[in-house]
Structure 1
Amino acid sequence: MEISELILQTMNEAGRPLKSSEIAESAGVDKKMVDKALKKLKDDGNIVSPKRCYYEPKRP
């Protein structure tokens, strides 16, 4: 599974906005990798940041 998919799955399972450190801990991956993937996901429009430093999947 690609890291982006793992991050999206982790966020969907949480059901609430998460900080990158929470995502890294839940997914079991390095925080730097999560930060890099979050930037790409946000640039691609797949996630949103409802408040500073928190992320959640973009809802249709």
Structure 2
Amino acid sequence: MEEKILEAMKRAEKPLRSGEIAEMIGEEGNTVSKAIARLKKEGKITSPKRCYYAPADV
């Protein structure tokens, strides 16, 4: 799940909302939100503005 989220973010080349990511990868919003929380805690993604997420290495 986390890899799919990171790939979607990299393809978009801009910060995305969790709902947009869920739509892109065909997963439930709640599942994506939980995975985003884990990725953020691990430092793999950042939140450049409220409710938007982007890969940390971009």
In structure 2, the partner of 1:45 is: 43
- Distance apart, 1:59 and its partner CA: 1.6
How many correspondences in the alignment? Answer: 58
TM-score after normalising by structure 2 = 0.97
- Distance apart, 1:33 and its partner CA: 0.4
- Structure 1: runs of 5 or more not aligned: none
Q: Residues of 1 paired with 2:17 and 2:23: CA distance?
A: 10
- Structure 2: runs of 5 or more not aligned: none
Instruction: Give the aligned CA root-mean-square deviation in angstroms.
Output: 0.9
In structure 2, the partner of 1:56 is: 54
| Counterpart selection for 2:15 from 17, 28, 34 | 17
> In the TM superposition, what whole-angstrom CA distance separates every residue of 1:3-55 from its partner, at most 9, and x where no partner exists?
00000000000000000000000110000000000000000000000000000
TM-score after normalising by structure 1 = 0.94
Amino acid at match of 1:29: E
